[in-house]
Structure 1
Amino acid sequence: MPRSRFSGAFASPSVDVIIDMGNPFLNRTVDGFLKIGTVGASRVAAEETYHCIRKGSISSHKVEQTLKKMCKEGAYWGTVAGVYVGMEYGMERVRGTRDWKNALLGGAITGALISAASSNHGDKVIVDAITGGAIATAAEFLNYLT
């Protein structure tokens, strides 16, 4: 019986924004802010486009409201990503090694900082730190698999 095989490779597209701030820490932080901020803004654009198509109408007020929401979400997502990338890089520099523990520590610190900045207190900050560390570590392990 004849058999066939599929062989190939899949590579995700790479988008590099080169901004030289004169410091590797700042370069990575700004790069993370811009890339993930763009993702956050794009998510809002896609969601609002869907709602306009479903509703069947669009107004200048809705466009203005969508642009404001895109800026707000892009800034929020970008800030979280910038803080995380900066913390992970800082952990790498402090520890002198590049491994999954940097992601864990960077995610935990980022989760705690973002939570505290959102006026959360006590247990909520700790839970957010644990969540940030877990998500960052899981993402790092997934990167090792690919």
Structure 2
Amino acid sequence: MLKKTDIVVFDFDGTLSARDSNVEFAKYCFRHSIRPWLYLPLMAVCGVIRWIKPHGLWWRENIRRFITRDMVKKFAPDFIKLHKRERFGWAKERVAAERAAGRTVVLISASTDYLVPQLVRDMKFDAVLCSRMDKKKPWRYEYICW
């Protein structure tokens, strides 16, 4: 017989945090690097294609093409410190209360593995599922990886 387990699942962006971490990281990169500005024409094309084919992945991947592994290494640590302040005040306490009640607490997010695990490390989730950054092409994600 299977053991019954109570599981509580949280989303991060817009649920535990006031803002979308991917969007905010892109804005942070624009404020701290010239590289994103050089990709604005490509982003404009992606914006048009989004209206034509909103469900495709091409525009989603290419709108983030300015992100490099070096940018992630350079900007993610300071961004994470700043973005942690955007979490709702009740978030950490709510996760702790669910754990104290004996429930398994899981976070699921479409945001990336170079942001989400570090943004919630202090919240002590039992598992964090998020999108994984492609190591060779950091603008590409493998969606919802364990």
- TM-score scaled to structure 1, two decimals? 0.31
More strand by share: 2
Structure with more relative contact order (C-alpha pairs < 8 Å, separation 6 or more): 2
- Who wins on radius of gyration, i.e. which is larger? 1
- TM-score scaled to structure 2, two decimals? 0.31
